[in-house]
Structure 1
C-alpha cells in the first residue's frame, strides 16, 4: 500500500488528518516523516536559547517547505533577551520560510535591520507579531505592503528615557502620510515618553480592530490618533488607565461604525459615562472588567442610549446592584440580547430573584456565563434557566454552590445546549453528569473533571461524538 500511494496523495491525506492522529504519522517511515513535514502549513515551536536548539532550527524549517504560519517562542531567560540571539533566529526564519503569511515571533526585541531583511525575504507576510526595542520607530512597516495584522510589544521597563519634545519634532514635523493596508493593530507597552506612533495613526485609514494594552500613552498627539478611527469596528483597552478617558472621548466623537468595546482593569467613571451618553455608533458587543469604576449610573446610561447590544459581558463588577441590572434587562428585552456574562459578580449571589427577573426579560439568550459565582445556589440558577430555553452555550465554571438539581433542571429546560462548562463545580456529581450527557440531544462539547465521568457517560460521549475536555 505504501508503494501504491504517490507522494502528492499522501500529502493530501496528511493535510486532512486531525491533530490527534497526525502526531503518529511521522513514526511510520522516513518517507512519511519527510512528506508529513513538507505538507504542514502551520508550526509552533518553543526553543531554549542554547546553541543546539538554534543550530537545528535551520534544518527543521528547511524540512517544512510549505509553511505559511509560524509561531516561535524563545524561553524568557537572560540569554533570550539578547537582541543578537533574536536577530539570528529571525534571520534563519527569513532565509528558510519565504512563503510565510503569518509570523508570531516572541523573544527579546529584534533590530530594525532584521525586520528589513524579513520584509525582503517574506514578501507575502500578512500577519506579524513582534517585540521591538525603544525608541519607538515604525516607518519600517512600509516595507511590508501586504501586512494586514500587526502586533508590537515594547519592554515594560529599562532603556534610556526619551525626551518627548524631541521625538515630537522628529516624527510630527513630517507630514508625509502613507496609505497602509493594516486592518488589525495591537500595541503593548507604550510609555508616556514614547512619541513615535503619530505617523502610524495617520497612515491607518482602513483600521478595523485596535488593541491597546498596558499603555501609558498613545505614542503621539490625539490629533493624529483620531485619523485612524473613521472605519474602526472593534477596540480593546486593557490596563490603560492613563489614556482610557482620552480614547473613549474621541471614540464617542469620531466612530460611527464601532460595534465592539472591551475595557479591562482601568477606566474612569466620568469617561465611561461620557462615552455611553454620546456614543454615535451602533454598539453590539460590550465587555467590561471594572471592579471599582462601573456602577448603576453607567448601566442607566447604557439602558437609555445603547439599544442594539447582542452581547454584554461584565466581570468583577462589585458596585452594580440588582436595580441597575434589571433596568438594563428591561431596555434590552426588545433588542434580542443573545449573550450575557456575569462573571464573579457578587450581585448575582447577593440579590435574591435577580436571575429570575433577567431570565424572564431575556428569553432570547443563546449564551450564558455565570462562572466563578461561588455562592450561587440551585434555586436562583434554576429560576433563570427555566426561562432561557434557547441556550446553546452555558458556562458555570467555579460555581461551587450548584448541585445535581441544577443539571437535571437544565436537561429538562434547555434542549439546544451544544457547549457546557461545569469545571470546578464541587456540588455536581458524576450521576448528574451521566444523565446530562445522555439526555442532551445537541451536546457537542463538555468541560468537566475526568473523575466525574462514569463509564456510561464516556460511552454516550463516544457514540455521539461529544468532545470531553478535562
Structure 2
C-alpha cells in the first residue's frame, strides 16, 4: 500500500518552478505602461491649459480614404455636369470645395449687384468672369440695410430710413439733382462703368442709374455685343453716350418716377437715340417728355421697331399722328397714362400704323373722348385689343373701338362702367372676332345677355365670361361646348 506524500502547509518550503516569459506577457505589460504614460501626459496637459485637446486623427492605414474620382475630371467636363443641375442647387454646390466655388462663378452670367465696393475692388470680375447680364441699380443706391420701410414703384423699389422724410421733389432728388445721401454721384458711376466695359467685353444687358455720357461712351466703345440697355434717371445729355451702340435692340429709358427722381428726356434725347441705335426692336419710355418730332425721328430711323411702350408719358399734344411713321410697329402699349393725347388734331391728319397687331391699355385715363377716338383711329388695323383697369371707359368711349374692324381678340378686365349694351354694339359688328374675355366688369349682368349676343358666344373659339363673382354663366356653360367653334349651345337663356 503506497502512501501519497503529504503537502507542506508552508508554500515557501515547496516553491514552484519559474515559468518562462512569453511574448504576449511582454506586449501587454508594455501596453499597460504605455497607457499609464499617456494618461499622465494628458492629465498634465489638461491641468496646464483649460482648453480641450484636439481629437486624435484616424489611422489612415486602418481605414484608407475613398478615391476621389471627381478630381480626375477636367474643369470643362465638370462645368458641363454642373450646368445640367437645377439653378437653385448652384449655391449649395459651390460650398463643396474651392474648385467648385470657382466653377460656380464661371457658370453665373446674370447678376444683380447690391454692394458697390464689390465692383470697385474688382472682386466681382474675379468671382464671376463670364458675366453677360449686369444690374447696378441697387448697388448705386445707398439705403439703410436695417430699414423696414420699402418704397416701391413699377420701375424701382428701395428701403428708406425712418429719419429721412421725402423731399419736395422726391425721395432721391432734391432741387433737380441727385441726393448724395441716396444715389452715388455720376462720376463714381462712370468709373464703375469703365471697369465693367474693360472686364466684361461680352456684356449683352446692362441696367444702370445716374450715369453720364462719359461712362456710357466707354461701354458703347468696348462692349460691341451689348443688345439690351436700361437707364434710370437719364437725361438728354446722357443719351449722347449710347450713340455708338450700333447693336442695341432693346432700350428702356426711365426719365422720371414720381417720388424717386425727376430727370428730363425730351425730343433731343429721343432723336439722339433714334440716330445712334437704328437696330431697335423694342423701346420703352417711362416718364419721358417729347412730342411729334421725337416719335417721328424714332419711326423714321428705327425701321425695325416692332414694340413701343409708353408709361406715364408727358408727351405734348399731337404725338399720336407720328406713330404712322413706325411702319413695322406690331405692338403698342400704354400704361399708367393720365392722358393719351391732349390735342390729337383732325382725323384725316392722324394716319395709321399699317402693321399694328396688338394694342394694350393698362391703368390709363380714357375720359377724353377725342383722344380715345384718335388712338383707335391710328390703330385701326389692330387684331388684338386688351383693356385693363382703364378709367372712364363708358359705353360711348368704347364705341370708338368699332373703328378697328379686323379684331380677332378683345380682352376686358376691370372695366366697371361698361355695360352689356355697349359691349354688344361693338362686337356684333366684328366679322372676324374669335376670342372674347370679360373679367371683373361688374356692370355686366348675365340676365342682360340678348339672343344675338348668345349666338355670337356659340361660334367663338374662346370665351372667358366672368364679369363678377355672381355670374352663373361660366358654370352653366361647362360642358356645353360654348367657346369651341362647332359645339352645341344651351337651349334656353334667361332674360
Same fold (TM over 0.5): yes
* Equivalent residue runs for 1:20-99 within 5 Å: 20-41=88-109, 43-48=110-115, 51=117, 53-55=118-120, 58-74=122-138, 75=141, 76=158, 78-80=181-183, 82-99=185-202
Contact 1:355 1:383 in 2 (8 A): no
In structure 1, C-alpha distance between the alignment counterparts of 2:133 and 2:404, rounded to whole Å = 43
Q: Give the distance between the partners of 2:479 and 2:190, measured in 1 at CA.
A: 58
Shift of 1:271: 2.5
Measure, in 2, the Cα distance between the counterparts of 1:307 and 1:194.
27
Q: Which residue of 2 aligns with 1:382?
A: 475
Task: Give me the CA root mean square deviation.
Answer: 4.1
Question: Any conservation in 1 of the 2:330–2:355 contact (CA below 8 Å)?
Answer: yes
Structure 1 position 236, deviation (Å): 1.0
How many residues were matched structurally? 371
Which of 9, 17, 23 aligns to 2:77? It is 9
Cα shift at 1:316: 2.2
Determine helix, strand or coil for the equivalent of 1:27.
coil
Structure 2 unmatched runs, 5+ = 1-68, 142-157, 161-180, 485-495
Kindly tell me: are residues 365 and 40 of structure 1, through their superposed partners in 2, closer, same or farther at Cα, counting changes over 3 Å?
Answer: farther
TM-score normalised over the length of structure 2: 0.63
Q: Secondary structure at the match of 1:186?
A: strand
Shift of 1:361: 0.7
3-state SS of paired residue (1:65): coil
Structure-1 separation of matches of 2:88 and 2:342: 47
Aligned match for 2:441, one of 345, 355, 362: 345
CA distance in 2, matches of 1:329, 1:194: 32
The equivalent residue for 2:326 is: 229
SS at match of 2:391: coil
TM-score (norm 1): 0.66
Query: 2-side partners of 1:81 and 1:314: how far apart?
Result: 43
Distance 1:214 1:251 in 2: 25
Shift of 1:11: 1.5
- Counterpart Cα distance in 2 of 1:335 and 1:63: 54
- In structure 1, stretches of 5+ residues that fail to align are 392-470
Q: 1:382 to 1:331 in 2, by over 3 A?
A: farther
Find the counterpart in structure 1 of residue 215 from structure 2.
114
Q: Greater helix share, 1 or 2?
A: 1
Higher Cα Rg: structure 1 or 2? Answer: 2
Q: 1:209 aligns with which of 307, 314, 334?
A: 307
Per-residue CA shift, 1:356-403, capped at 9, x if unaligned? 966971665558485xx7x51373430244446779xxxxxxxxxxxx
CA distance 1:177–1:59, change in 2 (3 Å): closer
1: CA distance, partners of 2:196 / 2:463:
42
- CA shift in 2, pair 1:343/1:60, >3 Å: farther
Q: 1:298 to 1:171 in 2, by over 3 A?
A: closer
Deviation per CA, 1:169-207: give whole Å up to 9, x if none. Answer: x998x9x96671111111111236998777545422221
Contact 2:257-2:287 within 8 A present in 1 as well: yes
Partner Cα separation in structure 1 for residue 398 and residue 419 of structure 2:
10
Residue 295 to residue 321, structure 1, CA distance change in 2 (3 Å): same
> SS where residue 370 of structure 2 aligns?
helix
Taking the aligned partners of 2:450 and 2:202, their CA distance within structure 1 comes to: 52
Q: Is the 8 A contact 2:194 2:219 kept in 1?
A: yes
Residue of structure 1 in register with 2:167 after alignment: none
Match of 1:430 in 2: none
Give the Cα separation in 1 of the matches to 2:84 and 2:455. 43
Deviations 1:303-325 (A, max 9, x none): 56433323x22232122102233
Query: Is 1:262–2:360 an aligned residue pair?
Result: yes
What do the CA deviations read for 1:123-157 (whole angstroms, capped 9, x no partner)?
11011111243346634333101111111111347
Q: C-alpha offsets along residues 26-76 of structure 1, whole Å, 9 cap, x if unaligned?
A: 1222212211221233x2324155x4x4445x3123332222223333144
Aligned pairs (5 A) from 1:324-343? 324-331=422-429, 335-337=433-435, 340-343=436-439
In structure 2, C-alpha distance between the alignment counterparts of 1:64 and 1:387, rounded to whole Å:
57
User: For the Cα contact (< 8 Å) 2:388–2:413, is it kept in 1?
Assistant: yes
Cα displacement string for residues 289-345 of structure 1 (whole angstroms, at most 9, x for unaligned residues) = 3543322234444356433323x22232122102233445545685322xx443432
C-alpha distance in 2, partners of 1:262/1:208?
14
Q: Deviations over 1:255-281 (max 9, x none)?
A: 100001112322332332344456442
Equivalents in 2 of 1:335, 1:379: separation in Å? Answer: 24
| Aligned partner of residue 257 in structure 1, secondary structure | coil
Report the counterpart of residue 307 of structure 1 in structure 2: 406
Measure, in 2, the Cα distance between the counterparts of 1:301 and 1:193: 24
* Structure 2 contact 132–205 (Cα < 8 Å) conserved: yes
